[in-house]
Amino acid sequence: MSANNPAENETRLRVRYAETDQMGVVYHSNHLIWFEVGRVELLRQMGFSYRDLERDEGRFIAVAEVKCRYRAPVFYDEEIVVRTRLKSVRESVVVFAYELVRPSGETILAEGETTHIVTDSQMKTARLPKKYLDAFRAALGRHESRGRRERAASRKVSKQELS
């Protein structure tokens, strides 16, 4: 992941004793907590926080799906890097991808993805507020003003030009 990409973040953590089992290996659910740490830091890097989204906008980003592929064990007192990437965004869906690696970056410890549904305080699906949607799209390199219909029309024109 590139340090210059606004849609990516790297966060360093050290494994705490409480995060391990009797054998000194990190308990599997802690990977999901580390994904959240990375996600929160990515949002902070982009200039906003979950707290602001919830408090100021009345919007919540609920986890709808989690995937995690464990590739190598992680041990007590090891330093790890959580690489977090904004993978995609739609008006009410946000997807993040993750890698947990050793600081050398050579060993992938785990890979994952979370899909989030934007909701209001009643847990009804809602649209992401414009400033957040625009920031996510800008980080992904998309033009904020182009909607789904405009992109579809553009693809249709391109296909016709090829014919």
Return the domain boundaries, the chain. Answer: 8-162
Unique residue bearing structure tokens 């991808």: 97
Predicted confidence band of residue 106 (pLDDT cuts 50, 70, 90): confident
Predicted pLDDT of residue 5: 84
Report d(CA 46, CA 42) in Å as an integer. 6
- Which of these, 60, 122, 116, lies nearest to 93 by C-alpha position? 116
Predicted pLDDT of residue 160: 52
CA triplet 18, 68, 89: central angle to 5 degrees? 115
Predicted pLDDT of residue 145: 42
The CATH number fitting domain 8-162, selected from 3.40.50.300, 3.10.129.10, 3.40.50.2300, 3.90.740.10: 3.10.129.10
Centre a 10 Å sphere on the Cβ of residue 96 and count the other Cβ atoms it contains.
25
pTM: 0.83
CA triplet 144, 149, 150: central angle to 5 degrees? 55
Is the predicted pLDDT of residue 156 greater than 70, yes or no?
A: no
Report d(CA 163, CA 155) in Å as an integer. 13
The answer to whether residues 109 and 101 touch, using CB atoms and an 8 Å cutoff, is: yes
Predicted pLDDT of residue 147: 47
The answer to whether residues 77 and 22 touch, using CB atoms and an 8 Å cutoff, is: no
C-alpha R_g of the chain: 18
pLDDT tens for each residue of 57-83: 999 999 999 999 999 999 999 999 999
Range in 77-91, 106-120, 136-150 with the lowest mean pLDDT: 136-150
Residue 77 annotated in active site: no
Predicted pLDDT of residue 159: 52
Range in 16-30, 48-62, 92-106, 147-161 with the lowest mean pLDDT: 147-161
pLDDT tens for each residue of 87-101: 999 999 999 999 999
